[in-house]
Amino acid sequence: MNDMQKIEASASSHQPWWRGAVIYQIYPRSFADSNGDGVGDLPGITNRLDYVASLGVDAIWLSPFFTSPMRDFGYDVADYCGVDPIFGTLTDLDVLIEKAHDLGLKVIIDQVYSHTSDQHAWFAESRSSRDNPKSDWYVWADPKADGSPPNNWQSVFGGPAWTWDARRGQYYMHNFLREQPQLNVHNPEVQEALLGVAKFWLDRGVDGFRVDAINFAMHDLELRDNPPAPDGNGPRTRPFDFQLKVHNQSHPDIPKFVERIRALTDQYPDRFTVAEVGGADPDREMKAFTEGENHFNSAYGFDFLYADKLTPALIRDALESWPTEEGIGWPSWAFSNHDAPRWISRWAPKGQEDAFARMALLLLACLRGNIILWQGEELGLTQVEIPFEKLQDPEATANWPLTLSRDGTRTPMPWVAQDEQGGFSTVEPWLPLGESNLACAVDRQEKDADSLLNLTRKLITLRNTYPALRNGGCDVVLADANCIVFERTADGERLTGIFNLSGDDIGWPEPVGQDGIEIESVNRAAIGRLPPFGAILIKRGLQ
């Protein structure tokens, strides 16, 4: 055993609960409706927690349930410390947390620190005058001499990142919807208020935070124009895509605020923080937000979320971007989420969805880092085509038909195959379930020992059984046109994962011997044999 393997083996037995955890993301609107209004809610989640626990996951991540006018479905927060009535009450949340803890599940919630709703009391006060106590809690700026916005910044959802407000005779900034004014997180009072929000939820028993869009939290105080993006810098479906976002996000002072968040969470035992970091330079920022012991515990990688194809090179680059080195942070991986299209629809060849899904789920279970399972992935749910007249997503309606609707991944969970509403609700849900997804319902898969649902349970058990998978090191052995091979090592064990990402039979990879013991395989793979989308995990001794 070499020195690095000795370090991995020693460390793996003394890891916090979240290191290598499997986290199940729940979108409250679409998980389970307990009161028959067509919208999911907190009691509905509580009623289904036994199912979640049966998967073997370590934690749930709840997307926003806070008081909100729902212009961006909860990411426009009107009261950080309140539960929106559509989801229930604070008492309902307390009951959910208690039951989750009784089942051995940690509870992680979203925190949105870069902006609020324009209905938030802070913004109402801030916009009332230029000299009120919260006048500098948001980003305000005078117009140019011709009355136009202060600079050229564009919003994610389309159009300028500035909206005129006659009350103050100034523009306010918004990186997203005009109903989501940008907080001035440079202001120490704003930071204190946000830390107070975090403390409120920590005191209430939550086990950690997924911090939304943290790289948008601070802006360039000089309000300099963004430079144009060069040709070939990706698709352009919005004005936002025509710029390099060097001044309206990714400010170098953000890590200092992250340190304050970490200092607070460290006052509570076993808490976990993970940053969402998107944009043009996520790797650098994720490292800055997670380095050492005084920043976030992990960062949420976007490597797979919008990739139109799953390739060996993509997997290799993602894994190698987080080496086993002192001071390097710990990654979290997801293949889909509430914003990103479902991966089966993006990656799987038509007619081969089941085989592809089995290979991809084994791959996900073997990745180094935390893995985040988006609700319904364990069922093989696909992206639903939502007709324009039923779209709810403000980004999709603003940029239709060039922007893929996020609604297609947010469709309700199908619990009962023979029920018109899928057992999600007693009335028509807020979004259609989709016929193909209804056929994947939980009750149908529970009865099938070979279902994707039961394979998911098996793979999560596998990950939790082997320290090398849970928190060991990772070395990529091969990544060619069709196949990726990597090794996970810890605690005296070496596991080799071999994945055929193609729809063809391929030869056994030359760098890999045919020794060892098969731990798991899918799609008829075996030692020495890799059928289409075949994948195998082999246990071998450390050298």
CATH superfamily for 18-115+188-462 is Glycosidases (3.20.20.80)
Which residue shows structure tokens 């060097």?
246
504 tagged catalytic: no
Least reliable range by pLDDT among 31-45, 169-183, 290-304: 290-304
Three-state SS string over 515-531 comes to CCEEEEEECCCECCEEC
Average pLDDT over residues 348-365: 98
Closest alpha carbon to 362 in 521, 527, 532: 521
**Residue 332, SS3 per DSSP:** strand
Which residues, listed in sequence order, are joined to residue 108 by a DSSP beta bridge? 61, 208
- What's the DSSP call for residue 214? G
Q: What is the pLDDT of residue 300?
A: 87
Compute the average pLDDT of residues 327-333: 91
Distances (CA, A) of 276 to 214, 321, 394: 6, 16, 20
Q: Is 164 exposed, middle or buried (0-12, 13-18, 19+ CB in 10 A)?
A: middle
- The question of whether 276 is a catalytic residue gets the answer yes
Domain 474-541, what architecture? Sandwich (2.60)
CA distances from 175 to 158, 317, 327, 331 (A): 10, 29, 32, 26
The one catalytic residue among 276, 303, 407, 487 = 276
The pLDDT of residue 7: 39
Q: Check pLDDT > 90 for residue 392.
A: no
In 3D, which of 199, 201, 167 has the Cα closest to residue 181?
167
Tell me which DSSP letter residue 163 carries: E
Active-site residue among 8, 212, 378, 407?
212
- Residue 485, token pair as written in the block: 């091979």
399 band by pLDDT with thresholds 50, 70 and 90: low
Q: Where are the alpha helices (DSSP H) in 402-481?
A: 435-438, 442-446, 452-465, 467-471
194-209 tens-digit pLDDT: 999 999 999 999 999 9
Please give the pLDDT value at position 390. Answer: 84
pLDDT the model gives residue 394: 76
> What letter represents residue 337's amino acid?
N
Tell whether the model's pLDDT for residue 49 goes beyond 90.
yes
Judge whether 205 and 90 are in contact, CB under 8 Å: no
Going from N- to C-terminal start, the domains of the chain cover 18-115+188-462, 474-541
Is cis: bond before 160, omega within 30 of 0?
A: no
Q: How far apart are CA 17 and CA 529, in angstroms?
A: 36
Q: Is 499 helix (H, G, I), strand (E, B) or coil?
A: strand
